[in-house]
Structure 1
Amino acid sequence: MTGGRMLKIGIIGTGGIARTHIDGYGRFAAECAIVALCDIAPGKADAVRAELGLSSVRTYERIEDLLAAEDLDLVSIATPPSTHAELTVAALRAGVDVLVEKPMAPSLEECDAMVAAAAENDRILSVVAQNRFRDDMATLKEVLDSGLIGPVSHAQVSSAWWRGTEYYDLWWRGTWESEGGGCTLNHAIHHLDLTAWMLGAPSAVTAVLTNAAHENSEVEDLSVAVLQYDRALAEVTSSVVHHGEEQAIVVQGRHARVSQPWKVVADVAEPNGFPAAGGDATRATKIEALAAAHTPLEHEGHAGQIGDVLGAVRERRRPVVDGTDGRRAIELVTAIYVAGIERRTVDLPLPAHDPYYRAGALVERAPRFFEKTASVAELPGDITVGSSSDD
């Protein structure tokens, strides 16, 4: 039991996104303290410690040494996706709770190993899904849950990002083996998680993949998927070729349309079936009132999720986003890849005997759109967060 004492935090991986975790824990300085940084690159953890003025923090180059030397309550894992499963399982088996960056892992087999390790060792596992901790998305979820728009008929989800070719020069990006996939896995994972959170799991997926603008990368930089529900369809565009990064979620219900960026439209029919002027003003007013009544979150983004995970660690409860949630998003990504590679409709859930369930399947089967032509240890400049989240 942690009681009321300060929780001891370790950060594994000290690249750009680790700073977001460090900042998030800093918002809860009365509850927790970062005591250790770990990075396999010699001197990298030391450099981050010095840069951020974390003089009392100890540094390590091997997770084995970190776990053996420190009495940790929680670790954030902020390393490349291909390493998530191994590091997460090691921490859980050492009795440490885990917050792991998105995407959870490149394969469902690895996700299931992570979920099983959490259960077997009675540990908490949370997967980063920071967009659930945004006021605009929480408002949209509340409106959908209210039933005011009626049964959903259609959703358009635009996970629109833009990255230059230099983005894929970083050593672990741009290959199926080290990055696990392209924009569908590493960027649209945010929007696919939101889609599953708001609409539930689809019954089938079809998709197409391409590399439209990044000749130094094996992986896709654009995919378009259609998710099939009982009586509804959702279109999901995953991209790093969209100038302006204008991201959106538009949900059409039987009685009204709502979206983020925020917009409400509620049509009603004339006797001939065409939309009547003015629409259903009463319903639109109710939706606007419900949205206006949303209680702002105390912390948004990573900080919001970190606050929830710290509470879960203290209270030994399920976090808002757990390993099962992270797995659900990976299952959607996997289905999109299978549909695009095999050029067929993929039924969900994916069974464990499906070839694409296992680790390494995409490395073996996915197309190499182009050959990766550069591999650098670091890229200059800061990470920019686009219009909604970190990557």
Structure 2
Amino acid sequence: MAEKLALVGIGKIARDQHIPAIGANPDWSLEAAVSRHATVEGIDHFETLDALLETRPDITTVSLAIPPQPRFAYAAAALRAGRNVMLEKPPGQSLAECYALEALAKENGVTIFATWHSRHADCVPDLKAWLAERTLKKLTITWKEDVRLWHPGQEWIWEPGGMGVFDPGINALSILTEILPHPVHLSGATLEFPENRDTPIAARLEFADPSGAPMTADFDWRQEGPQTWNIEIDTDRGSARLSLGGERLEIDGALVKQGANHEYANLYARMAALVKAGESDMDLSPMIHVCDAFSLGKRVVTAPFHY
């Protein structure tokens, strides 16, 4: 029998990704939506999460597709009500919030899942398997996109807790922490803040690899024209290039796999498996890199940004 699920936050990502993925998975039945401004045809609508939790005790799982700033309060309420919780990335606006939610889930005997959709892109497992048999020599991440295209008019990303360019950049970090055969840590960062904003529009990161391999990430939200989501790797036995955010993989210059947009389908399949097993997945390694970047980063003030 399908688990009954409620989706909180009916914005662009919910309509483009969450709703189609839920509808295509027989393990889930979308029963309700929570939003102050939008509805989903054919299912119950609630303006507040409290109203949902009180009215629909039969709904076992809540998926949160809302900005990170209010997410802790929503997730905590759902967990205390005994509901499983699925968190859109990033899982919170601070590590302390995330650890507190993990503890709440355990205390209430329910599942919590910190999702990293780019980690579930089609070619990521292939690159991970390829790299596991080789010695890393160099890794370069280039993650550049146009904020006006992907976040039109969304002021929350420029406010404290919104993370700025790390909202997309954390996607690259989720892939990095998945494919590497060993952990790395941030050793330095430069963050560019528009003079009228509280979060960065660009970032340059450097990592300390145990074997000494140079490893950098370059994030920028000012890219116009073609968008760039690439990870390039040199090893002792060849090179690899992951592009399109994880949907295309080249080895030694030759295309070996071209995937499709299955990230959210894979996320909901993973959530279903966790619920059935009574387990949780709160891997916070991508978030740790972001928090370290804000801690270690040199701040550079740049031109003001306006939509």
Shorter chain as normaliser: what TM range?
Answer: 0.7 to 0.9
Cα 1:62/1:114, change in 2 over 3 Å: same
* 1:36-55 aligned within 5 A: 36-39=32-35, 41=36, 44-45=37-38, 48-49=39-40, 54-55=41-42
Evaluate the alpha carbon distance shift between residue 260 and residue 205 of structure 1 in structure 2; reply closer, same or farther with a 3 A threshold.
same
Residue aligning to 1:206:
188
Cα distance in 2 for residues equivalent to 1:167 and 1:135: 24
Q: What corresponds to 2:203 in structure 1? A: 223
- The residue identity in structure 1 corresponding to 2:216 is E
Query: Partner of 1:162 in structure 2?
Result: 146
Residue type at the aligned position of 1:169:
G
Distance 1:196 1:15, change over 3 A: same
Q: Which residue of 2 aligns with 1:151?
A: 135
Amino acid at match of 1:63: L
- The within-5 A match list for 1:1-391 is 5-19=1-15, 20-28=17-25, 30-39=26-35, 41=36, 44-45=37-38, 48-49=39-40, 54-55=41-42, 57-70=43-56, 71-145=58-132, 147=133, 150-164=134-148, 167=151, 169-177=153-161, 179=162, 181-184=163-166, 186-199=167-180, 200-211=182-193, 217-231=197-211, 232-243=213-224, 244-261=226-243, 262-265=249-252, 300-318=262-280, 322-323=281-282, 325=283, 327-341=284-298
Counterpart-to-counterpart distance in 2, 1:242 and 1:27: 34
State the SS of the aligned residue for 1:154.
strand
Structure 1 letter corresponding to 2:272? L
The 3 A distance-change label for structure 1 pair 135 and 60 is same
More strand by share: 2
**Alpha-carbon displacement from aligned partner over 1:207-228 (angstroms, at most 9, x marks no partner):** 10114xx665332111000111
- Could you tell me how far apart the structure 1 residues matched to 2:20 and 2:196 are? 33
Report deviation, 1:265: 3.2
Distance 1:373 1:163, change over 3 A: closer
Shift of 1:264: 2.7
Alpha-carbon contact 1:220-1:369 (below 8 Å) kept: no
5+ unaligned residues in a row in structure 2: which ranges? 244-248
Is the 1:217–1:373 Cα contact (8 Å) retained in structure 2?
no
Segments of 4+ moved more than 4 angstroms: 165-168, 367-374
Task: Give the SS at the match of 1:173.
Answer: helix
Contact in 2 for aligned 1:129/1:193 (Cα 8 Å): yes
Whether the 8 Å CA contact 2:186–2:289 is kept in 1: the answer is no
* Distance in structure 1 (CA, Å) of the matches to 2:114 and 2:175: 13
Aligned residue type for 2:208: Q
Matches of 2:147 and 2:156, distance apart in 1: 15
**Offset, 1:187:** 0.7
Q: Once the two structures are superposed, what CA deviation does each residue of 1:14-69 show, in whole Å capped at 9, x if it has no partner?
A: 111111211110001x3321111112x2xx23xx32xxxx32x1111121111111
TM-score (norm 1): 0.69
Structure with the greater alpha carbon radius of gyration: 1
Given the superposition, is the C-alpha separation of residues 371 and 64 from structure 1 closer, same or farther in structure 2, using an over 3 Å criterion? farther
Q: CA RMSD in A?
A: 2.8
Letter in 2 for 1:58: D
Shift of 1:201: 2.7
Distance in 2 between the 1:63 and 1:18 partners?
A: 16
CA–CA separation in structure 2 for the residues paired with 1:338 and 1:103 = 17
C-alpha distance in structure 1 between counterparts of 2:303 and 2:34, whole Å: 33
Where structure 1 has 5 or more consecutive residues not aligned to the other structure, the ranges are 267-283, 344-366, 375-391
CA distance in 2, matches of 1:263, 1:371: 38
TM-superposed CA distance for 1:329, in Å, is: 1.1
Deviations 1:273-300 (A, max 9, x none): xxxxxxxxxxx9xxx9xx67x9x89x81
In structure 2, do the counterparts of structure 1 residues 66 and 239 end up closer, same or farther at CA, with 3 Å as the change threshold?
same
SS in 2 for 1:81: coil
Shift in alpha-carbon separation, 1:253–1:78, aligned structure 2, 3 A: same
Count of aligned pairs: 297
Answer whether contact 1:203 1:228 (CA < 8 A) is retained: yes
Which residue identity is paired with 1:89? Answer: A
Alpha carbons 1:218, 1:370 under 8 Å: kept: no
Deviation for aligned residue 1:333: 0.3
**CA 1:165–1:191 in structure 2 vs 1: closer, same or farther (change >3 Å)?**
closer
Q: Identify the residue that residue 277 of structure 1 maps to in structure 2.
A: none
